[in-house]
Structure 1
Amino acid sequence: MLSRFAINFQPVRLFSQSVARNARFGGQGPSGFGSRFSEQTGFGFRARTGPTLKERLLGPTTGKPYIYGTYALIGASALGIGSLAYYGLGLSSERSILQNSTMWPQYVKDRLHSTYGYLAAGLGLTAASGMAASRSALIMRLTASGSILGMFATLAVIIGTGAVVRSIPYENTVAKHVAWAVHCGALGAVLAPMVFLGGPVLMRAAWYTAGIVAGLSATAICAPSDKYLMMAGPLAMGLGVVFVSNIGCFFFPPHTALGAGLASIVVYGGLILFSAFLLFNTQRLVKQAELHPHQSQYYGEQQHYGGQMEYGAFDPINAQLSIYMNVLNIFMRMAMILSGFGGQRRK
């Protein structure tokens, strides 16, 4: 009886041993039962053979984020060239800004001329300020710290000086121009560390930026007057993505997979984003120049509203600030790409 019980217990003991081995070795142990059970039923525990998601994100990058960013930039460039060809050849059924310009009164043309004159002067002041700031060791230490506190301090200076410029009416000529010059000088000081990229790189970036701005401005002028004004929502969301990615770059170095992805969004995605912003702001500038009341219209509107309507003069300094920031952002990203960003130096 005991011998029969022992014989009958043997399969149970072997089964328990096989289950223990299976649990110990994750279904891949020396027990034939676990392997056969996993193979036949598809169930069972298998040991992890690849890296975890965290290890992949924080591991070394393969360089693919930069390659994908280049592809996105090529696609956006092709779309821009196609838009310029489509609208420039007059294939659109809607009237373009260029066609409407033949009916503009002279004051609209004068407003646009003065706005782009201030834009060119502001870029010149920024370049001169950057060159002067690069010769000061104190300013270079403050602007080239590379810390997140330095980034927020830079944002505070840019936003603060810009808000002061916008708050001063254009009729207050001296204060307005002084605040505008200080704003341009502050941005030049912020961009001063870019001199480390080298003069040839910065000159090439400046020429490339000029070509991009000219092409995008021509596209905006040849397009219908409100074609790109409908992009405000997507542009705002894209700006939020680029801003958050910029903050993330302080915590994840660019040699990691996640850091490389964030850096690619900041540089390549930012270049595409601010190019689209340039289209939007160019058409918005034209709309402002067209719709802002002229002095000859004040008297009639004051009579209509009982003498309570008051308008300030058109402010070309405020009107060009958005385009000015777009140009600087495009220039910075072009300089980074041409300097060999992502290990792909442009020859």
Structure 2
Amino acid sequence: MAFFLRRPFAITATLKQVPRASSTSLRAFHTTPLKRSANFFISKPVASPLSKSHNVFRATFRRNYMQPASPAVDSQTLRQRLLYGAGIFGATLVGINLIFNRETRTDGGMPQYERSYLNDTFLHTGLGIGIIGVAARALHMNGWSYRLMAANPWVVLGVGLVGSIGTMYGAMATNPENYIQKYALWGAFNVTQAMLLSPLMFLQPALLARAGLYTAGMMGSIAFVGATAKQEKYLYLGGPLLAGVAIVALSGLAPLVIPTTAARTLMWTENIWLYGGLAVFGGFTLYDVQKILHHARLAERGLIKKDPVNESISLELDFINIFVRMVQILGMSQNRRK
């Protein structure tokens, strides 16, 4: 049930700016209507529906995310930015460790079987995220993103959920000894995520790279805390995090029922969806890492089978949900500096 609730939010964020092939711009989730340009009513040759959808989509994203090309940055400024980013990352890591990791393991450190299980899970997680990135890029270059954005968003959301949840539960239900079926379903799950997230390729590569770097840094810091903390210290977070996911879900669906005139309410729901979602899925990362170590101890005693593929799916979902929110936050930050 937790996976069912966690996955739709990334899909909703990805398809926030869905255009339609018409001359009227509709309001997307948490987005104000587009401003009409001065030459909006100038007569132009009739274009195909796909071309119209593409133009509307590009105009929509240009308002929220796309910015004019920035001037070249000299090496000194680049070094300063890198040092500034490294300092923030280091301070965040130290702060998280001091706040949430006051009680470390008392069993002499992580045993070899737990370390091996955790490393296998991280390997599958990185491989899965790499598959999603490569597949999303390939689909975008082949025109999939244009067709996806021109389609009915509710149909895309419904079919995407069925494909995503179906392949996910299929992979998790497959015996780990059945390698072919296990990895085939896992690969199909990753490709499904790529199909849904491919419209992000319309954004600036620098923006996506920064979001990916920040997501990796955030998850890496939290995973370090979960791996070195006292055994099963954060496993109690499962219930509260599930409740938090429900709140984030409702805030994401709020624009469907709240009128556009309630601007302040919509602003609050957007903040809950963005920053509350970051907190919730950061907590899920901490919970999932401790759950992986718990499963490693059970597998060592022969109570369950070792299955790093299933464990990696949880971390992949955490990464996707955090990454999508990072993209939106960075895009909003660029828009404010415009």
Same fold (TM over 0.5): yes
2:130 corresponds to which letter in structure 1? G
Q: Which residue of 2 aligns with 1:338?
A: 330
Q: Which structure is higher in RCO with an 8 Å CA cutoff and minimum separation 6? A: 2
Structure 1 residues 72-151: aligned runs within 5 Å: 82-86=95-99, 92=102, 94-96=103-105, 99-101=108-110, 104=111, 106-142=112-148, 147-151=153-157
Residue 313 of structure 1: how far off its partner (Å) = 3.1
1:140-177 alpha-carbon deviations (Å, 9 max, x no partner): 43257583443333222221110111111111111111
1:36 aligned partner: none
Residue identity over aligned pairs, in percent, reads 26
Which residue is 2:266 aligned to?
259
Q: Does 1:202 align with 2:208?
A: yes
What is the aligned counterpart of 1:230 among 224, 236, 242?
A: 236
1:216 aligns with 2:222: yes
Q: Which has the larger radius of gyration?
A: 1
**Match of residue 313 from structure 1:** 305
Report the CA distance shift for 1:229/1:199 in structure 2 as closer, same or farther (over 3 A). Answer: same
Aligned equivalents of 1:243 and 1:79: distance in 2?
Answer: 27
Return the letter of the residue paired with 2:139: A
SS of the aligned residue for 1:169 comes to: coil
Amino acid corresponding to residue 85 of structure 1 in structure 2: L
Is 1:326 the counterpart of 2:332? The answer is no
**Are the aligned partners of 2:145 and 2:199 in contact in 1 as well (CA < 8 Å)?**
no
Q: CA deviation at 1:95?
A: 4.1
Q: Deviations over 1:265-311 (max 9, x none)?
A: 111111111011111111111111112245xx5xxxxxxxxxxxxx6
Q: How many corresponding residue pairs?
A: 250
2:245 maps to 1:239: yes
Whether contact under 8 Å (2:207, 2:331) holds in the other structure is yes
Residues 60-110 of structure 1 show CA distances to partners (whole Å, capped at 9, x for unaligned) of: 9xxxxxxxxxxxxxxxx999853412566xxx3x44288431xx2x43332
Q: Which of 179, 188, 199 does residue 182 from structure 1 map onto?
A: 188
- Which TM-score applies when normalising by structure 2? 0.66
Report the CA distance shift for 1:183/1:277 in structure 2 as closer, same or farther (over 3 A).
same
Please say if residues 170 and 313 of structure 1, whose CA atoms lie closer than 8 Å, have aligned partners that are also in contact. Answer: yes
* C-alpha distance in structure 2 between counterparts of 1:139 and 1:146, whole Å: 13
Residues 121-155 of structure 1 show CA distances to partners (whole Å, capped at 9, x for unaligned) of 00100100110121233454325758344333322
TM-score with structure 1 setting the length:
0.64
Query: RMSD of the alignment, in Å?
Result: 3.0
Contact 2:295 2:304 in 1 (8 A): no
Give the match for residue 17 of structure 1.
Answer: none
Q: Which runs of 5+ in 1 are unaligned?
A: 1-57, 61-76, 298-310
The whole-number CA distance in structure 2 between the counterparts of 1:338 and 1:186 is 25
Q: Does the 8 Å CA contact 1:201/1:335 hold for their aligned counterparts? A: yes
In structure 2, relative to structure 1, the CA distance for the partners of 1:219 and 1:177 (3 Å cut) is same
